[in-house]
Homo-oligomer: A and B are copies of this chain.
Amino acid sequence: MSTGAQAVVDAGGEPLTRIMDRVERRMAELAVGHGPMLARHAGATISAGGKRLRPMLVCLAAGAPPPETAGLVRAAVAVELVHGATLVHDDVLDGSPLRRGRPTVVATGGRAAATATGDLLFSRAFAELAAEGAGSPGAVRVLARASRQLALGELAQREDAFRADVTVARYLDRCRLKTAVLFRAACELGALEAGGDADALGAFGERIGLAFQILDDVLDVSGPPERTGKPRGADLLDGTVTLPLILARARDPELVALDLRSVRTAADAAAVCDRIAATGALDVARSRARDLVADAKLGLPELPDRQREALELAADVMVERYA
């Protein structure tokens, strides 16, 4: 765990560590609890790996220390399962061989098994929230809305693929749909579980989720691959137009003329990344993400000092990863 993430856990205290351990155990149980087929296909995806940022947000939005309730564990697990489901389906569509350094479900089981596995993880998420003694119709509503928006975000991304005319506003809206809504849902679910201010904490989650996605898109251009675990310019090769390219286009006429469909090899992609970086667009994008994190902190509602500090630290961790 990075120093920053450790600081977040410290701020949450022993109870946060215990809750996160319970989340991890529950994920491991689910990985083996649906028979050998799921264990083979999805065990690695759901039980191991991942930074567990979303479950941590669920917990911190509930309190620091968070209440050690079964409902909170289930809410945290549900959010992470939805996240896992979207990763499994994304990997099917991208035909990705590796995720978190392990073979993807589509690589080991094929498209059919991976599609079904993603569906199963979605269903399992709602089952967690609706389990006896957990959640509420309100919690199910929050997760269902976020899942729906994630799917719309995926549709928007495919719709925009290879399109040169994607605006900053359209890009931000897509980031909101494909990423930030689940950070928002994480915070809302934590707040609901503890009787907190779900709207305000949800807005906090959405802002840091947007910052997270922008910085992820910056990393795709900046690399280095040893750190990101993927070659530079993977988005370019998929035709995904992100903020660095949009900003760079306004600064470099040659990038305006670039047809994304002509970017076909890793070397092509790396060359475009260098060109984007040369415009200074990466610093502008990073700064935009930092502003969002600052706004997120400023917009936090009245909270106990310890919870506010923990959430502020969590927001910083989003940025720190990319410092």
Contacts and interface: CB of A to CB of B under 8 A. Distances in A.
A159 B37 contact: yes
Contact of A119 (B38, B118, B134, B145): B118
A134 B140 CA distance: 12
Contacts of A85: 119
A141 B131 contact: yes
A232 interface: no
A150 interface: yes
B130 A35 contact: no
Interface in A126-166: 126-127, 129-132, 134-138, 140-141, 143-145, 147-148, 150-152, 154-156, 158-159
A130 B140 contact: yes
Interface string A86-120: 10010011000000000000000011110111111
A127 B148 contact: yes
Nearest to A149: B123
A144 B126 contact: yes
A93 B155 CA distance: 18
Copy count, this protein chain: 2
A246 B50 CA distance: 44
A22 interface: no
A52 B260 CA distance: 44
A152 B123 CA distance: 11
Contacts of A129: 140
Contacts of A54: none
A171 interface: no
B124 A155 contact: no
Contacts of A118: 119
A151 B119 contact: yes
A120 B38 contact: no
Given A89-B115, A113-B155, A156-B37, A147 B122 contact: yes
Contacts of A159: 37, 113
Contacts of A150: 119, 123
A127 B129 CA distance: 13
Contacts of A136: 137
A159 to B, nearest CB: 6
Nearest to A122: B122
Contacts of A83: none
Given A112-B158, A156-B37, A127 B151 contact: no
A93 to B, nearest CB: 5
A30 to B, nearest CB: 10
Q: What are the nearest 8 A-B pairs in CB distance?
A: A123-B147, A130-B140, A127-B144, A120-B151, A116-B154, A123-B148, A119-B151, A126-B144
